[in-house]
Amino acid sequence: MSEEKKESGIQVITAKTAGFCFGVKKAVDKAFELAEKGVELYTYGPVIHNDEVIHRLEEKGARILNTEEELRAVSSGIVVLRSHGVPKRVIDMLEEKGIEYVDVACPFVKRIHEIVYRESENREIVIVGNPAHPEVEGIMGWCRRPATVISTPEEAEQYTPPEGAEVCVVSQTTFHHKKFQKIVEIFEKKSYYVSIVNTICNATVQHQTEAREIAAGVDAMIVIGDSKSSNSRKLYEICAEECKRTDFIQTLSELKLKQDGSINTVGITAGASTPNYIIEEVQKYVRANF
Ligand code: F3S
């Protein structure tokens, strides 16, 4: 973490891990590189969960396709496939139609696709994650049999595989690290054969650990991220547990936190899909106004 002091004595602590992770940076760079070439460009799903970045991409001419029907209607140009990964059937469809595409799924997400594709040949698959998240939808789309998605320890307790089946458990890359450990303990206590692959991304673990450490020691905390971004929301939950005065904002204009004389230290972190310029803007504002 980096610490900065202002003359008034306010201390601003910004997480070193705040902002773009390796996978998001790679995906965004590739999408902008194509957009800058002026090619007919589509993205299937938002490339990353950050409206600011998506608007900039649209300004450069990219068109965002949100459904498989819209994607099926494409007959030319290049399609960028979102960083959260897509189901196998989407790639098969593009191949069949001969549509050029660039898959910018993060390599850590692709690794999960490979695991579940391989393991689902002989095992039941359990995905620990949010069933409504596109990453989980993508992972399910690589399973060769219907997968079960669980997101709470209670659901893990209730889960029973078919008689005699072996089970493989994976996690969404951005799943809450501690909650995952709890769920793993429940699975380990069950008597059936289970292999657990912790596929939570390291960047997520570092992000969450650093956010918790900072939030525990400051008077107020600011988490910057899009509410659609799973890892940003998790950072907010973690920080709010440690620091009562935690604000979750997408851009500076949403900041509600105000100096009332009781704030001497402010912590800042940001989700993996938050661009640097927004983090800097917030930092500058806090330094000047708190
Ligand atoms: Fe990839 Fe981890 Fe980022 S899975 S997209 S490096 S949070």
pLDDT at 257 over 80: yes
What CATH topology corresponds to 108-196? Cobalt-precorrin-4 Transmethylase; domain 1 (3.40.1010)
Looking at ligand 1, which residue's alpha carbon is closest to its atom 6? 23
Q: Specify the length of the chain in residues.
A: 290
Stretch 187-211: mean pLDDT, rounded? 90
Q: What are residue 107's phi and psi, to 5 degrees?
A: -55, -30
pLDDT digits (tens, 9 = 90+) for 47-97: 998 988 999 999 999 999 999 999 999 999 999 999 999 999 999 999 999
Q: Which of 17, 22, 115, 229 to mutate to test the pocket of ligand 1 (most atoms within 8 A of CB)?
A: 22
pLDDT digits (tens, 9 = 90+) for 158-176: 999 998 899 999 999 989 8
Task: Compute CA distances 105 → 83, 116, 175, 180, 246, whole Å.
Answer: 4, 16, 17, 23, 31
Residue 197 CB: number of other CB atoms within 10 A?
A: 13
Domains 2-20+202-289 and 108-196 share a fold: yes
Tokens describing residue 64 = 């965002």
Query: What is the average pLDDT value for the chain, to the nearest integer?
Result: 94
pLDDT at 183: 96
Q: At what angle do helices 202-216 and 177-189 cross, to 10 degrees?
A: 120
Is 135 part of the annotated catalytic residue set? yes
Residue 2 — very low, low, confident or very high, per pLDDT cuts 50/70/90? low
Q: What is the pTM of this model?
A: 0.86
pLDDT at 283 over 90: yes
Ligand 1 pocket, residue 235 CB under 6 Å: no
Residue 211 — very low, low, confident or very high, per pLDDT cuts 50/70/90? very high
Ligand 1 pocket, residue 83 CB under 6 Å: yes
pLDDT at 5 over 80: no
For the domain spanning 22-105, the CATH number is 3.40.50.11270
What CATH topology corresponds to 2-20+202-289? Cobalt-precorrin-4 Transmethylase; domain 1 (3.40.1010)
Alpha-carbon 172 to chain mean position: 9
| Separation between Cα atoms, residue 44 and residue 22, nearest integer Å | 20
Which residue ranges make up each domain of the chain?
2-20+202-289, 22-105, 108-196
Q: Which of 50, 106, 233 to mutate to test the pocket of ligand 1 (most atoms within 8 A of CB)?
A: 106
Nearest-atom number in ligand 1 for the CA of 83 is 5
